[in-house]
């Protein structure tokens, strides 16, 4: 499969601060790729470099095989972007903002637009200044999802959405995936990535620290096993997945209940970040 996004040794410095420190990221065509990391890890900086808004300080960044800085306009016809912190024009309505962004990208699917407005329960006639944070986010989501872009770059897209609307977003994400489109979804909300993403890259302090399918990543962490005995005795442990069988067979008789929980992404996250102390968060 062709790589839609490829960065190699990507660096970006803002003065003395090094926001990206040799970031290697590959997103294949058709992947819904989770881009996970704590605040200030470099997620937004990476997206902005891929959008040609920032110029990289070093390394390689490729989008559809092109240079995101030099070929920005051509490449942007093929992608849609939802910024992390959506601000709208105070005196334009949400509907006008959706149409504007859609047309600048090269067209908008009117039927999809209407459908999405209904699903997200968004009133397009309100002025930008009177939308709440969640509603501003919806405006950006509708504008991006109503496009026919091959690639969606989503920067923490559910920030400010209520749980119901998060469900709607997850459904839409599945739909996009089923259409074979590519998504790079940056987030620090693990459950959101776990549901929709097939591949995950974890970024920390400007570097990718883990990357792979969820199954591969789970492999890296320990499974939690709890055994309950007839006499009420409880034994538990965390072992590597391949050692579960050995531990269980060593328990002896009297086991009435046995649970083995694969690690959640939450635990993966903690395992990765608890191992090294935080190096001063930047945002």
Partner 1 sequence: MSGLTGTGTLLRLAARRDRVLIPVSALALTALSVGSAQATVALYTDPETAMAELGPVLNAPSTMAMYGPATTTNLEGLSVFKTLLMGAVFVGLLAFAVVRRHTRVEEEDGRLELLGAGVVGRQAPLAAAVALAVLATLVTAGLSVLGFVAIGFPARGSLAFGAAWTIAGLTMTGITAVAAQLTSSARGAAGWAVGALALLYLVRAIGDSATTDGGRVLRWFSPFGWASQVFPFGKDRLWLVLPALALAAVLVGVAFALLERRDLGAGLFASRPGRARAPRGLLSPAGLAWRLSRGGFVGWLIGFGLLGLVFGGLVSQVDSMLGDENIQTMLAQMAGVPVDELLSSMAAVYAATMVRFMTVAAAAAGVIVVLRLASEERSGRTEAVLATAAGRTRWYAAFTSLALVVAAVLILALSALMGVRGHAALAAAPTAGDLLQGAAEAIPAAWVCVGVAALLTGLSSRLAPWSWAVLGVAFVLGEFGPTMNLPSWLVDSSPFAHVRAYPFGTWDTANVVVLTTIAFVLVVAGALAHRRRDLG
30 binds partner 1 (CB under 8 A): no
In angstroms, give the least distance from the CB of 118 to partner 1: 12
Q: Is 183 in the site for partner 1 (CB under 8 A)?
A: no
CA distance 43 to 83: 11
Q: Does 140 bind partner 1 (CB under 8 A)?
A: yes
The single residue listed with the structure tokens 């083995």 is 260
Stretch that binds partner 1, among 32-40, 77-85, 167-175, 178-186 (CB under 8 A): 77-85
Residue 122 in 3-state DSSP?
coil
The residue from 3, 26, 92, 239 that contacts partner 1 (CB under 8 A) is 92
| Alpha carbon distances (Å) from 252 to 225, 246, 257, 259, 261 | 15, 11, 13, 16, 20
Mapping DSSP to helix (H, G, I), strand (E, B) and coil, where does residue 62 land? strand
How many residues of this chain interact with partner 1, rule: CB under 8 A?
Answer: 44
Q: Per CB under 8 A, does 48 bind partner 1?
A: yes
Rounded distance between C-alpha atoms, residue 126 and residue 94, angstroms: 6
The CB-of-35 to partner 1 minimum distance in angstroms stands at: 16
d(CA 193, CA 186): 8
Q: Which of 86, 151, 176, 225 contacts partner 1 by CB under 8 A?
A: 86
Beta-bridged to residue 202, according to DSSP, are: 36, 210
**How far, in Å, CA of 29 to CA of 138, rounded?**
26
**CB of residue 221 to partner 1, shortest distance in Å:** 35
93, 182, 201, 223: residue in contact with partner 1 (rule CB under 8 A): 93
* x-or-dash string of contact with partner 1, 104-133, rule CB under 8 A: xxx----------------xxxxx-xx---
Q: Which two tokens stand for residue 149?
A: 């872009």
Pick out residues in 152-181 that bind partner 1 (CB under 8 A): 153
Task: For residue 234, list its beta bridge partners.
Answer: 228
C-alpha to C-alpha distance for 227 and 45, rounded to whole angstroms: 46
- Complete edge-to-edge strand list for the sheet that includes strand 223-229: 234-239, 223-229, 255-261
Q: Does 100 help bind partner 1 (rule: CB under 8 A)?
A: yes
Region from 26-34, 93-101, 239-247, 258-266 binding partner 1, contact rule CB under 8 A: 93-101
The residue ranges that bind partner 1 (CB under 8 A) are 48, 51-55, 72-74, 76-77, 79-81, 83, 85-93, 95-101, 103-106, 123-127, 129-130, 140, 153
């Amino acid at each position: 499969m062709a790589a839609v996004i490829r960065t190699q040794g990507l660096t970006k410095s803002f003065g003395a601060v090094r926001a990206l420190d040799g970031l290697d990221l590959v997103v294949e065509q058709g992947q819904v790729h989770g881009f996970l990391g704590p605040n200030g890890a470099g997620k937004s900086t990476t997206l902005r470099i891929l959008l040609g808004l920032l110029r990289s300080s070093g390394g390689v960044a490729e989008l559809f095989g092109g240079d995101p800085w030099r070929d920005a306009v051509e490449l942007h016809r093929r992608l849609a972007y939802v910024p992390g912190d959506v601000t709208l024009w105070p005196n334009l309505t949400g509907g006008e903002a959706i149409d504007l962004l859609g047309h600048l990208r090269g067209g908008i699917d009117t039927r999809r637009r209407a459908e999405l407005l209904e699903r997200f329960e968004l009133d397009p006639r309100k002025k930008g200044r009177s939308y709440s944070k969640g509603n501003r986010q919806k405006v950006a989501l509708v504008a991006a999802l109503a496009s026919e872009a091959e690639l969606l770059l989503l920067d923490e897209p559910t920030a400010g959405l209520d749980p119901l609307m998060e469900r709607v977003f997850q459904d839409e994400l599945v739909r996009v995936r089923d259409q074979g489109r590519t998504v790079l979804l940056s987030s620090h909300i693990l459950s959101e990535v776990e549901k929709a993403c097939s591949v995950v890259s974890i970024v920390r302090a400007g570097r990718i620290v883990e990357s792979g399918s969820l199954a591969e990543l789970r492999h890296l962490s320990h499974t939690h096993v709890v055994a309950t005995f007839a006499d009420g005795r409880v034994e538990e442990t965390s072992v590597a997945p391949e050692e579960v069988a050995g531990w269980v067979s060593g328990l002896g008789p009297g086991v009435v209940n046995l649970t083995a929980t694969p690690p959640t992404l939450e635990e993966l996250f903690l395992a990765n970040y608890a191992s090294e102390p935080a190096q001063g968060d930047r945002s």
